[in-house]
Amino acid sequence: MWSNTNEMKYSTKWHMYLLDVEYVRKSLGLDFVAKEKSLAKAQDKMYQISRTIYSYIYNHTRQVRHVEYHLAMEEELRPLIQEILEWQCRYEYESDALLLAMQLGVNPLNGITLNMNDLRGARVISKQAEDLMITNGLLYAGRYMGSRRESEFDYTEMGY
């Protein structure tokens, strides 16, 4: 069953873990409230970071609900998810990768365009976070044996 800690909370609305802004400030020394100029924007940045990681994982599978369920419910995955999110926070704090990913990729002075994959692809993901996902099998593109069909995953019935 998913659970909340002082370090991260599970959002039943978004079906993913989000790091706590105050935990990130105290433990990692990354003050997103000061950087973003408000608590609401800092909390939204935690959402964006989690969404980036979860989307990256989901982009590597055809069984999104199966993976989503295990990320939410498997207790042994929580420390891994937390570490991945922490690495992504460090990366985002230092590089503003999400801001770069939101750019159009067109130089208004000369009309030259950048490859969108260069802006929105793997550069948005921390190398350490990606390594953790690869090493721990979170970027598995195959089929999970014995899993339910995607249509059988019901949030209410399954308790997440």
pLDDT, one tens digit per residue, over 1-36 is 788 999 999 999 999 999 999 999 999 999 999 999
How many distinct structural domains can be found in the chain? 1
Within-domain flag for 1: no
At 105, the pLDDT band (50, 70, 90 cuts) reads low
Give Cα separations from 140 to 57, 66, 155 (angstroms).
8, 12, 23
Within-domain flag for 2: no
**Quick one: what percent of the chain has pLDDT higher than 90?**
62
Residue 101 has pLDDT above 70, yes or no: no
Within-domain flag for 55: yes
Which residue has tokens 């998913």? 2
Q: What is the pTM (predicted TM-score) of this model?
A: 0.82
Beta strands 8-11 and 16-19: pairing type? antiparallel
pLDDT, one tens digit per residue, over 134-150 is 999 999 877 666 666 76
**Residue 79 structural domain:** 8-143
Within-domain flag for 44: yes
